[in-house]
Amino acid sequence: MEGVAEPPGAAHLVLADGVVHLDPEQAVFQAMLDGWERQQRTRFLKDDATIRPRLTLLRRMAEFTNAYPWQWEPADGEDFITHLRSADRKRPIVMSTARGYELAITLFMEYVTDRRYEWPSVCSQRFGQVPQQVFHEGNSVAHVADFEGQPGRRPFTYDEVQAFFDAADGRAEQISRHGRKGTLVAMRDSALLKTVYAFGLRRREAHGLDLSDRRRAPKMPQYGEYGALFVRWGKSSKGSPPKRRTVLTVPEMDWIVDVLEHWVGEVHPQFNPGALASLWVSERAARMSMRSINLAFEQARAAAGLPAELDLHALRHSYVTHLVEFDYLERFVSEQVGHRYASTTAIYTGVSDEYRTRLIRRSMQGHDELWETK
C-alpha cells in the first residue's frame, strides 16, 4: 500500500513472483531465512555472534525433522532439543544453551507466523499448510535460577594462579634453553595470560587491545602508561555496539606493569609489527587470533597440570573473586569488569573459606567490642 512502510523481510521482498522452482519447498525455506536475516539486521544484531548461528540452528532443525517450518509442530521442537541434550551425544548441550536455542526458534516462528510478513498466506497458497509456534510455556525450559553454568567451573585458587603463571613462564624458558623456535611466542602468551587475569578481561576484550589503549592514572603516576587499560570491545547488549570501559591497575596486581613494559618495550618489536597497532601480535605480524589465545591458555593449563574445568574465562572469575577478597567495594568491582548489575558480579564470585573465616572473625570482633561498651 502506497505510503505504508514495508516491513523488512516481507515475503514478496525475498521471494520472486512468477518463478517456477525445481524445489519449491527448499526455495521458500531459503527465502524465509533470507527474510528473517533482513529483519534481524534492522535490529542491529551482530552477524557472526547472533544471526549466522541462528540460521545454522534452523537448518539443523529442518535436517533433523526432515520437514519445513510450515510443517513443524511442538513435538518436533521437543524431539530436536531432546536429541541435542541426549547423553549419547559427544557434547550434549547444557540447559542454558537449550533455552537459547528454544528462544531463537521461537523468534523465527514469530516472524513466519506474523501476517505482516505474508508467510502464512504464501504457505497456505503453495503448500496448504501454515506455520505455527513450536515452543510455548508448557514445553520450553523455564528460567528459575540466576546461575546455570556448569558446577565444575570455578575461579582459580591463589596457588593455582601461581602454578599457572609459573608454567607459562616455564614454557618460554624451556623452549629458549633447548634452542627451539617459539621463545617469543611463549613470552607473548605468558604476558597475555597475565594481562587477562590482572585486568579481568574477556577473550574478545584482550584480543581487541591496541597499543593506544594504554592509559595513565593521574593518582598512580608510578605505573606510567600502565595505570589502566581502555577496553573498547566489551560485551554488548543486543542491538548495541560493544561497551567501553577503563580498567584501573589495582595495587595488588601492579606486577603487571613490569610484565607489560617488558612485552611492549623489548619483545613486541621483535615480531616486526610495523604499523600494526595491535597489542598482541602473531608471528606473521598480524593481530593474534582468538583461537591462538585459547591455545595459549590450554598449553599453560596442561603444563601446570590443572583440571580441564578451568577455562580462560575462569581467570576473569578469579579476578572478581580476588578483588572481593582484597576488600574492594562491590560497585568498584562491577565497574572494573563491566557489569551493569551487582548481581552479575556476585555470580562470578567464589570466595575462599579463608576469606569467609576472616569475615566471621571480623564480625565477632565487632560484636565483642559492642558488648564491652555496654
Q: Are residues 35 and 96 in the same domain?
A: yes
As a whole number of angstroms, the distance between CA 55 and CA 140 comes to 20
Instruction: Give a yes or no: residue 248 inside a domain.
Output: yes
Rg of the Cα atoms in the chain: 26
Q: Which residue has the higher pLDDT, 179 or 115?
A: 115
Q: Are residues 38 and 82 in the same domain?
A: yes
Q: Are residues 192 and 277 in the same domain?
A: yes
The DSSP line for 68-106 is -GGG--HHHHHHHHHHHH-TTSSSPPPHHHHHHHHHHHH
pLDDT at 104 over 60: yes
Structure-block grid coordinates of residue 329? 567495594
Q: Are residues 121 and 162 in the same domain?
A: no
The pLDDT tens digits of the residues spanning 241-278 come to 889 999 999 999 999 999 999 999 999 999 999 999 99
Supply the pLDDT for residue 145. 47
- Residue 281, domain extent: 158-312
Q: Are residues 100 and 214 in the same domain?
A: no
| pLDDT bracket for residue 238 (50, 70, 90) | low
Sign of CA dihedral 12, 18, 22, 23: positive
Instruction: Give a yes or no: residue 217 inside a domain.
Output: yes
Supply the pLDDT for residue 370. 44
Find the CATH number of the domain harbouring 69: 1.10.150
Q: Are residues 177 and 95 in the same domain?
A: no
Q: Which residue has the higher pLDDT, 125 or 153?
A: 125
Supply the pLDDT for residue 362. 56
**Which of the residue ranges 62-66, 185-189, 234-238, 307-311 would you say has the lowest mean pLDDT?**
234-238
Average confidence score pLDDT of the chain:
86
Q: Which residue has the higher pLDDT, 374 or 238?
A: 238
Catalytic residue positions, numbered? 202, 235, 313, 316, 339, 348
The pLDDT tens digits of the residues spanning 300-333 come to 999 999 998 899 999 999 999 999 888 898 889 9
Q: Are residues 122 and 188 in the same domain?
A: no
Instruction: Give a yes or no: residue 133 inside a domain.
Output: no
The pLDDT tens digits of the residues spanning 42-74 come to 887 877 778 999 999 999 999 999 999 999 999
The pLDDT tens digits of the residues spanning 117-131 come to 999 999 999 999 999
Residue 281 exposed, middle or buried by CB count within 10 Å (0-12, 13-18, 19+): buried
Q: How many separate domains does the chain show? A: 2
Q: Are residues 183 and 73 in the same domain?
A: no
The proportion of the chain whose per-residue pLDDT surpasses 70, expressed as a percent, equals 84
SS3 248: strand
Supply the pLDDT for residue 367. 45
Q: Are residues 123 and 169 in the same domain?
A: no
Find the CATH number of the domain harbouring 164: 1.10.443.10
As a whole number of angstroms, the distance between CA 290 and CA 202 comes to 11
Residue 297 exposed, middle or buried by CB count within 10 Å (0-12, 13-18, 19+): buried
pTM of the model: 0.65
Supply the pLDDT for residue 176. 79
Supply the pLDDT for residue 8. 83
Supply the pLDDT for residue 97. 87
Q: Are residues 62 and 181 in the same domain?
A: no
Supply the pLDDT for residue 4. 52
pLDDT at 347 over 90: no
Q: Are residues 91 and 170 in the same domain?
A: no
